[in-house]
Amino acid sequence: MPLSYPTLPGDVDHLIADDHAVVERQFQHLEAGRGDRRVLVDQVAFELALHADAEERVLYPAMAEAGETHEAEEGRDEHQEAKELLVTLNNSDPGEPEFEDALSRLIASIRHHVAEEEGEFLPRFRQAVGPERMAELGKEFLAAKRAAPTFAHPNAPSGETGHKLLDAGAKAVDMVRDKATGRKKHLATDPSGALDPQAQRIVDAFAAMEPQPFEILTPDQARRQPTPADAVLRVLEEDGKSTEPEPVDKVENMTIDGPGGRLGVRVYWPKDAGDDPLPIVLWIHGGGWVLFSVGTYDASCRGIANRTGAIVVSPEYRRAPEYVFPAAHDDVLATYRWIRDNADGLGGDGSRIAIGGESVGGTMAAATSLQLAAAGEPLPVAQVLVYPLTTGEQFGESMVDAADARPLNRPLLSWMAMHAFEGVADRATDPRVDLLSVPAEPLAGMPPTLVITDERDPLRDQGEEFARHLEQAGVAVTATRYDGVMHEFFGAAAVLDKAAQAQRQAAEHLRDNFRSPAAAR
Tell me: the pLDDT tens digits for 333-363? 999 999 999 999 999 999 999 999 999 999 9
Q: Which helix (H) or strand (E) holds 280?
A: strand 278-284
Average pLDDT, the chain: 94
Q: How far apart are CA 384 and CA 451, in angstroms?
A: 6
Give pLDDT, residue 425: 60
Strand, helix or coil at 108? helix
Q: In which band, very low, low, confident or very high, does the pLDDT at 22 lie, cut at 50, 70 and 90?
A: very high
pLDDT class of 521 with cuts at 50, 70, 90: very low
Is there a contact between 149 and 46 (Cβ–Cβ < 8 Å)?
no
- Structure pTM? 0.95
Pairing of strands 348-358, 477-486: unpaired
| The predicted structure's pLDDT at residue 520 | 36
Mark whether 457 is an active-site residue: yes
Region 475-479: mean pLDDT is 98
Question: What end-to-end distance do the CA atoms of the chain give, in Å?
Answer: 41
d(Cα 400, Cα 278) in Å, to the nearest integer? Answer: 43
Active-site pick, 53, 457, 461, 469: 457
Task: Give percent helix, percent strand, percent coil of the chain, each to the nearest 5.
Answer: 55, 10, 35
**Is 359 among the catalytic positions?**
yes
Q: For residues 260 and 334, is the Cβ–Cβ distance under 8 A?
A: no
What average pLDDT does this structure show over 267-278? 91
The 10s digit of each residue's pLDDT in 183-209 is 999 999 999 999 999 999 999 999 999
Residue 517: predicted pLDDT? 59
Instruction: Band the pLDDT of 259: cuts 50, 70, 90.
Output: very high
Determine how many CB atoms are found less than 10 A away from the CB of residue 33.
8
Q: Within its chain, how far is the Cα of 33 from the centroid?
A: 27
> How high is the pLDDT of residue 176?
87
Q: Which amino acid is at 490?
A: F
- Tell whether omega for the bond before 517 is within 30 degrees of 0, i.e. cis: no
Q: What is d(CA 324, CA 391) in angstroms, rounded to the nearest whole number?
A: 17
Options 359, 369, 398, 414, the catalytic residue? 359
- Answer yes or no: 487 catalytic: yes
* pLDDT tens per residue across span 23-64: 999 999 999 999 999 999 999 999 999 999 999 999 999 999
Residue 339 to residue 355: CA distance in whole angstroms: 11
Stretch (H or E) spanning 114: helix 97-116
Q: For residues 232 and 162, what is the distance between their CA atoms, to the nearest angstrom?
A: 42
| pLDDT higher than threshold 70 for residue 320 | yes
SS3 state of residue 262: strand
Half-sphere exposure of 198 (CA within 13 A, CB side): 16
pLDDT tens per residue, range 400-459 = 999 999 999 999 999 999 999 987 767 778 999 999 999 999 999 999 999 999 999 999
> Tens digit of pLDDT for each residue in 122-181?
999 999 999 999 999 999 999 999 999 999 898 887 777 767 767 788 888 878 888 888
Given a contact cutoff of 8 angstroms between Cβ atoms, the answer to whether 493 and 233 are in contact is no
Long-range CB contacts (< 8 A, 24+ apart) of 337-344?
Answer: 337/377, 338/256, 338/257, 338/265, 339/280, 339/282, 339/313, 340/378, 343/277, 343/280, 344/277
How far, in Å, CA of 99 to CA of 93, rounded? 6
Domains annotated for the chain, with CATH where assigned, are 12-181 (no CATH), 250-514 (3.40.50.1820)
As a whole number of angstroms, the distance between CA 505 and CA 503 comes to 5
Higher per-residue confidence, 518 vs 444: 444
Which among 14, 163, 469, 487 is annotated as catalytic? 487
Q: What is the mean pLDDT of residues 382-391?
A: 98
Render 392-449 in DSSP notation, one character per residue.
SS--STHHHHTTT-SSS-HHHHHHHHHHHSTT-TTGGG-TTT-GGGS-HHHHHTPPPE
Q: Which parts of 285-406 are beta strand (E)?
A: 311-315, 348-358, 383-386
Looking at residue 389, its pLDDT comes to 98
